[in-house]
Amino acid sequence: MVPCKPLPGAWVYTPIGLKHRLLPATCGISINDGELLAFEKRPQGANRVVNVELRGRGGNPEAVEARVTLTLDDGSSQTAEVAAGGGYLSQSPSILTFGLGSSQMIKSIAVRWPDGAQSEHQADRAQVMVEISQP
């Protein structure tokens, strides 16, 4: 594995293999002279993000059409929905990314599943990726 090389603006890149998992909104892929590269945006300062990955049941393992509402300790909330596609010849990521700012803590994560069921979950402050399975 070639170590990450810094690029301007806190971007780093590294050649990737099949074992690597890319997260939405923080990564991109480029092919340059035949070499496959992954670019990752590393946050500067104290701002944080959390990624939520849902595990659906049956024929919908990515929980498409599930709605996630993340409530922060100051009472503010953010909502995102898992989508199957976003445009012509494109695919939306099934991992939802939420920005938390510099000192925000997650109070709760509420999920409305595609079948209408609802569940509520907690997240640890240190978690960057929260995986939630449909009950």
Q: With respect to CATH, is domain 48-133 assigned 3.40.1130?
A: no
**Using CB atoms within 10 A of its CB, is residue 31 exposed (0-12), middle (13-18) or buried (19+)?**
exposed
How high is the pLDDT of residue 22? 45
Domain ranges in the chain are 5-41, 48-133
How high is the pLDDT of residue 27? 53
Does pLDDT of 60 surpass 80?
yes
Q: What is the pLDDT of residues 74-116, one digit of tens each?
A: 888 999 999 887 777 777 778 898 888 776 788 899 999 999 9
Q: Confidence class of residue 14 from pLDDT cuts 50, 70 and 90? A: very low
Average pLDDT for 33-49: 61
How high is the pLDDT of residue 36? 57
Average pLDDT for 30-41: 56
How high is the pLDDT of residue 19? 40
Task: For the sheet with 27-32, list strands across it.
Answer: 5-7, 11-15, 35-41, 27-32
Q: What token pair was written down for 122?
A: 């907690």
Rounded mean pLDDT of the chain? 75
Percent over 90 (pLDDT), the chain: 34
